[in-house]
C-alpha cells in the first residue's frame, strides 16, 4: 500500500469513502478508537470522554463509517509549548501552553484560548472538537480548535499576562494565521489579551494582520456586537425553544449560573424580552429574588466590585447548587463544565436548559433530564453565537468594511434561529434529544465535506 515516499500509492481510498457504514455501527469501535483498549462508558468527568460519548451516540444513529468516525475522533494536530515568563519579582516561571487543532475540513480552524490553573490537554481536546461541531451546526465555515495556558491569571500582573500572551503567540507563530488558525477569547481571556496577540503576530509578519484573531477591541478591528454575541445567541435559542413549547416570556422565570460575559448578557437580554430573572450567580455564590433581580443594577455592581457580585444586596444569598435546583422555567448554566451531573439532574425543575457554557451537563445527567422531559438546548448550539460573530469579525477584517450593530445582530439572530430549527427538526426526525440531534447535523456536515474532498493519499 505504501510507495517509496511514504504515500499510499493506489489512490482507491477516496472512491471507497462513504459517510454511511456498510456495517451497523458498533460501540466497541468507539472504545478502540478513543482509548485504544476497552474502557467503561459513562460516569466520567473527563470532558473529552463526555464529548466522545455524544459523538458515538450520534454516529451510531446515522451509521457513520468507522473510518470517518476514527478520523473525527482524533485531533488533527496537538501543540504543547513551554511558555517562559520573566515575572515581576525577577524570577523565571515556565507555563504549559496548548493549541489543539481538531479539524480543518470546512475551513481554517477557530476557537478561543483560555487561561486557568486547571487547563489540561483532555479539556482542550474536547473544547477543540466542540468548536468543530459548533461551527458546523450554525453554518460557520470554520474548523475547530482551542488553546489554553495553565496559569492563574488572578495572581498575575498585567505585565506578566502580557509577556505570557506574547510568548505563547510567538511560540505558535507557525500555527496561527488568518487562513490557518484563528484564536479568540475564552475563559479568563479578553479583548486586551487578543490585542497583544494581534500585535505579536503582526510584528512577526511585518504587517498589521487584524484577521488573525477575533474578539479584539473595536479600535483594532473588532466587531460591534461580538462581546454580547454568545449571550445573545443564548437568548435567541431560548426564545426559539420557548415558542416550540408554547411558553411566553412574560410568564417565565429564569435562573442563570455564571455572571461573566455570557451569563450577564444572556440574563440582561432575556430580561429585556420580558422574562423574570430570579437568580444569578458567580464564584462568590448565588443570588435569588423571587420578584426578579434588577440585572442592570447587578451588572453595575459587579463592574464596580472587581467583577464580583459578593455583597450584592438586591437579592438573598443562596448556593450555586441551590440555584441549579430552583423552581424556574428556564435554567441557563453559563459558567463551566460538569455542573449538571447524575447527582443533581433529578432535582432540576426547569423546563428548558440553555447551555451558555461549554459542557455543563454530563452524559449521565442527560439521560435523567431526557426521562424527565427537560428540553436541553445543547452548548454546541446555544453558545455558538460567539463564534458566529467571530466569523463576522473575520469577514469584516478581510473586506476592510465594517457592519452596523443592527446588521451584526440581524445576521446573528438569523443564523442562530436557522441552527435551532435544523436541530429541532433533526431531533424530531431521529427521536433524539437536541444534543444528539445537533451532533448528527454537525457530523453529517463535516463528513459530507470530507467525502467530497476525499483523503489525500
Ligand atoms: N471561546 C468561544 C467559544 O467557546 C468563541 C470562540 C471563537 O469565537 O472563536 O465558542
Q: How confident is the model at residue 18 (pLDDT cuts 50, 70, 90)?
A: low
- Ligand 1 mean position to 438 CA, how many Å? 17
Which residues contact ligand 1 via a Cβ below 6 A?
110-112, 184, 186, 214, 358, 383, 386-387, 390
Backbone angles phi and psi of 447, in degrees to 5? -65, -35
Distance CA 365, CA 388 (A): 28
Q: What is the reported pLDDT for 19?
A: 60
pTM of the model: 0.91
pLDDT tens profile 308-366: 999 999 999 999 999 999 999 999 999 988 999 999 999 999 999 999 999 999 999 99
Residue 146 annotated to the active site: yes
Q: What is the reported pLDDT for 1?
A: 35
For ligand 1, pick from 386, 392, 397 the residue to mutate: most ligand atoms within 8 Å of CB: 386
Residue from 230, 166, 164 nearest 201 by CA? 166
Locate the ligand 1 atom nearest the alpha carbon of residue 114 and give its number.
Answer: 1
Q: How do beta strands 77-86 and 92-103 pair?
A: antiparallel
Q: Which three cell numbers stand for residue 1?
A: 500500500
Eight-state DSSP code of residue 220: G
> Ligand 1, atom 8: nearest CA belongs to which residue?
387
Q: What is the reported pLDDT for 10?
A: 40
Q: Set out the domains of the chain in order of their start, with CATH numbers.
A: 1-74+433-457 (no CATH), 77-212 (3.40.50.10860), 227-373 (3.40.50.720)
Coil vs helix vs strand at 186? coil
| Angle subtended at Cα 89 by Cα 84 and Cα 94, rounded to the nearest 5 degrees | 15
Backbone angles phi and psi of 256, in degrees to 5? -120, 120
Q: What is the reported pLDDT for 100?
A: 98
Locate the ligand 1 atom nearest the alpha carbon of residue 358 and give its number.
Answer: 4
- Ligand 1 mean position to 350 CA, how many Å? 26
pLDDT tens profile 383-397: 999 999 999 999 999
Q: Cβ(51)–Cβ(436) under 8 Å? A: no
What percent of the chain shows pLDDT beyond 70? 90
Choose, from 146, 276, 351, 422, the residue flagged as catalytic. Answer: 146
Q: What is the reported pLDDT for 383?
A: 98
For ligand 1, pick from 51, 186, 263, 416 the residue to mutate: most ligand atoms within 8 Å of CB: 186
Q: What is the reported pLDDT for 25?
A: 54
Q: Cβ(102)–Cβ(144) under 8 Å? A: yes
Amino acid at each position: 500500500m505504501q510507495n517509496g515516499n511514504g504515500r499510499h500509492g493506489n489512490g482507491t481510498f477516496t472512491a471507497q469513502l462513504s459517510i454511511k457504514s456498510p456495517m451497523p455501527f458498533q460501540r466497541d469501535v468507539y472504545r478502540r478508537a478513543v482509548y485504544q483498549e476497552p474502557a467503561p462508558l459513562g460516569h466520567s468527568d473527563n470532558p473529552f470522554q463526555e464529548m466522545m460519548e455524544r459523538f458515538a451516540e450520534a454516529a451510531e444513529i446515522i451509521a457513520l463509517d468507522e473510518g470517518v468516525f476514527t478520523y473525527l475522533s482524533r485531533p488533527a494536530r496537538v501543540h504543547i509549548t513551554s511558555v517562559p515568563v520573566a515575572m515581576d519579582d525577577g524570577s523565571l516561571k515556565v507555563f504549559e501552553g496548548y493549541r489543539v487543532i481538531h479539524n480543518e475540513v470546512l475551513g481554517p480552524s477557530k476557537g478561543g484560548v483560555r487561561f486557568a490553573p486547571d487547563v489540561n490537554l483532555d479539556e482542550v481536546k474536547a473544547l477543540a472538537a466542540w468548536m468543530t461541531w459548533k461551527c458546523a451546526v450554525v453554518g460557520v465555515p470554520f474548523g475547530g480548535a482551542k488553546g489554553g495556558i495553565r496559569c492563574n491569571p488572578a495572581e498575575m500582573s498585567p505585565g506578566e499576562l502580557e509577556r505570557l500572551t506574547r510568548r505563547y503567540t510567538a511560540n505558535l507563530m507557525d500555527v496561527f494565521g488568518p487562513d490557518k488558525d484563528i484564536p479568540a477569547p475564552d475563559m479568563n481571556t479578553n479583548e486586551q489579551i487578543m490585542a497583544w496577540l494581534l500585535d505579536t503576530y503582526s510584528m512577526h509578519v511585518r504587517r498589521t494582520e487584524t484577521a488573525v484573531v477575533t474578539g479584539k477591541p473595536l479600535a483594532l478591528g473588532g466587531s460591534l456586537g461580538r462581546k454580547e454575541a454568545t449571550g445573545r445567541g443564548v437568548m435567541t435559542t431560548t426564545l426559539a425553544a420557548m415558542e416550540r413549547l408554547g411558553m411566553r416570556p412574560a410568564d417565565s422565570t429564569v435562573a442563570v449560573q455564571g455572571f461573566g460575559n455570557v451569563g450577564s448578557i444572556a440574563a440582561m437580554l432575556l430580561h429585556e424580552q420580558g422574562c423574570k430573572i430570579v437568580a444569578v450567580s458567580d464564584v462568590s455564590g448565588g443570588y435569588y429574588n423571587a420578584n426578579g433581580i434588577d440585572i442592570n443594577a447587578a451588572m453595575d455592581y459587579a463592574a464596580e466590585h472587581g467583577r464580583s457580585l459578593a455583597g450584592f444586596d438586591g437579592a438573598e444569598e443562596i448556593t450555586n447548587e441551590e440555584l441549579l435546583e430552583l423552581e424556574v422555567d428556564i435554567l441557563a448554566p453559563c459558567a463551566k463544565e460538569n455542573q449538571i451531573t447524575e447527582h443533581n439532574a433529578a432535582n432540576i425543575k426547569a423546563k428548558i436548559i440553555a447551555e451558555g457554557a461549554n459542557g455543563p451537563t454530563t452524559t449521565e445527567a442527560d439521560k435523567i433530564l431526557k426521562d424527565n422531559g427537560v428540553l436541553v438546548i445543547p452548548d454546541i448550539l446555544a453558545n455558538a453565537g460567539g463564534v458566529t460573530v467571530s466569523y463576522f469579525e473575520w469577514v469584516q477584517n478581510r473586506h476592510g468594511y465594517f457592519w452596523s450593530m443592527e446588521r451584526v445582530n440581524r445576521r446573528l439572530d438569523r443564523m442562530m434561529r436557522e441552527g435551532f430549527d435544523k436541530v429541532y427538526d433533526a431531533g424530531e426526525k431521529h427521536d433524539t434529544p437536541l444534543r444528539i440531534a445537533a451532533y448528527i447535523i454537525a457530523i453529517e456536515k463535516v463528513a459530507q465535506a470530507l467525502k467530497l474532498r476525499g483523503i489525500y493519499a
